[in-house]
Structure 1
Amino acid sequence: MTISTIKVTDQTLTSTTKESDLRLKDILKTLPREVFAKDRRKAWTTLVINVLMVGLGYVGLAIAPWYLLPLLWIFTGTALTGFFVIAHDCGHRSFANRRWVNDLVGHVFLLPLIYPFHAWRLLHNQHHAHTNKLDIDNAWQPWKEEFYENLPSFARWGYRRLRGRFWWVGSIIHWAGMHFDWTQFQGKERQKVKLSVLVVLGFALVAFPLLVATTGFWGVVKFWLMPWMVYHFWMSTFTIVHHTIPSIPFMPEEQWNEAKAQLSGTVHCDYPSWVEFLCHNINVHIPHHLSVAIPSYNLKEAHRIIKENWGEHIHEYRFSWSLMKEITDECHLYDAEDCYYQSFDEYYAKKRA
């Protein structure tokens, strides 16, 4: 299937449009229908390749000498991040046409990561509906000064670590703190989340004793914990970079603009090609935030068209230590004066003045 480009000629719908006038539906009109189309062959081929990559990683862990284990942990953990991305498409119903297929695949592929599918799906949908909306978005939202000041000292210390050089454990905190409490949901949603939590806990109660019995406690570290930590490194890194640079604001609800938040409030970041391959281009993130209906295998083409029509509004970066240093050095607390960020150094210098 050839995807054609829709080039916008009406100036009200081009990249010269003022951000305050942007409407999400106008941006979506510039995307061809083909980028929203599900392709069963591509979806299942991606799944099979991902399973093979994870299997290759575990075979390597089983037979490799000890000095190759770090490389194999990185490979296997990154391939497991691909499992999450497949479940992510399932959560957005962009993997398969049938809901039960999406739910089944989503549950199965999140089991090794001990992630309750429906809890993640519903909380993640909140992030999409309220991206960069102050007090409502649940992904890497900067804390307000008054909230930070009223915390006990240990909580302030922990927050400084998470917004600094220990950003890579942020996904673990998010996972443990938000995804196992089904009482935060209501009605049918609560029952679905409860089912997902019980499925995950049941899996863990079987898998971990079996792993200990067959490989010992070192086997749990070798085959599960270390790849799982690599997975969370990528999840923490991907999610903080997706919406966190000094020039992207968090807006109060009354000033929030949906199109601006999804187009200009989302970062496109190029990672090494092997990471992109194993993680199914999830970091081609702007089209995904414009429409969750775009499957992962169409994200690159959708981004090319968005860049062609709306290039002046988007942020593009390449993954590097300098990028992570900028984010973790500067993007700490909410700055109420301009809706952007202030660093801890700026905050404490202001307090001392």
Structure 2
Amino acid sequence: MKTLLTSLILCLLLLQTARAQSCFGLKISGFRADNPDEIYLQATADIPANRTFYFTDNDWTASTENFVGIETSDIYTWTTPATGIGAGSVILISSLANFATSGTASGLPGLSNDGEQLYILSAIPSAVEGESPESTICFAINFLGTGNMPTDASKFVNLGDIDNAVYDGSGDFSDVANWARANSVANLTFPTPTFIPPTTLPVTLTSFKVGIKNTQNNLVWTTSSEVNNAHFDIERSSDATRFERIGTLVGKGNTKLNHTYQFTDESPKSGINYYRLKQVDFDGGFAYSRIVLAHNDASAQVTIRHFPENKALQIAGVRNIAPYKLFSLNGRLVKSGNMDPGSPVITYKNITSGVYILQMQNSDLSFTRKILID
């Protein structure tokens, strides 16, 4: 019983600002494949607020680390509540009205009683062939499904030919001996959903801003509390999709005081620069901040000085080698070369006086200007 949910589309559109994280020990602790389909989750560690996890029952292939034929309609989500959720909490998610006892859910994959598997992941499968590294799989259950299980035996349990099962609360989740199984839910006792408040709070980011000074971008952010905060990675992108790390600042670990951090991007790209923070815990968990941006026009920083006595143009503000071309007003190329920031001079001893067009372009800038040569 596959239910297509339009609310999932909104979740995908918000992917870039969504938090990514480690699994925080989240496990599947029970399921029923009878109508309505239901699963039980158990938090074995505190999970911060607004963390999103993803579910799918598509087949995962270990050799290529991808989900076969996955589409957006095959992926469902559960997000922790604004308070976070504490270790020991048990969450029931039902396909009936997409209900969750804690947090919010977009629904469930339809659980077949003819053989199935279910994966819970800490990151959404890539749009490219459903790529999903094993590291993103938090836990999986297999009841005669055809998908591969993770190579890490602690990340899954094989339950065999069964329609309903529940973890009995003792021992490893991955040991089938610790699960009660039956084809009728009447023969099983499922746990009572329980919310336990978390004992820790995530890093609280109260502000994050970027400003431009000369040709550099200055990033400033403030926290009001930090728990288990190892460091911040500063990441930059030119398209708000593919980010690269450009720096790291050490966090304060555990503190309830306000702290301000500053980082300078000394060589931003020309155009729009997008920035985000990746806050990393000591245990490897991480979360992304919102994205801020700065519009850097490197061309505006370029100045041209004319030295007629030396038959030369001095070009200031070019940071990297830039090819240039000098055209007459009728479009004839009269000179070309590479502008070296270490020797930013164009000579014109054999060029007649008049108005010319100077074009210059590299990865940082692109401009066209009229200049007078006499």
Q: Report the TM range for the smaller structure's normalisation.
A: under 0.3
Higher helix share: 1
* TM-score, normalisation: structure 2: 0.20
- Higher normalized contact order (CA 8 Å, seq sep 6+, divided by chain length): 1
* TM-score, normalisation: structure 1: 0.21
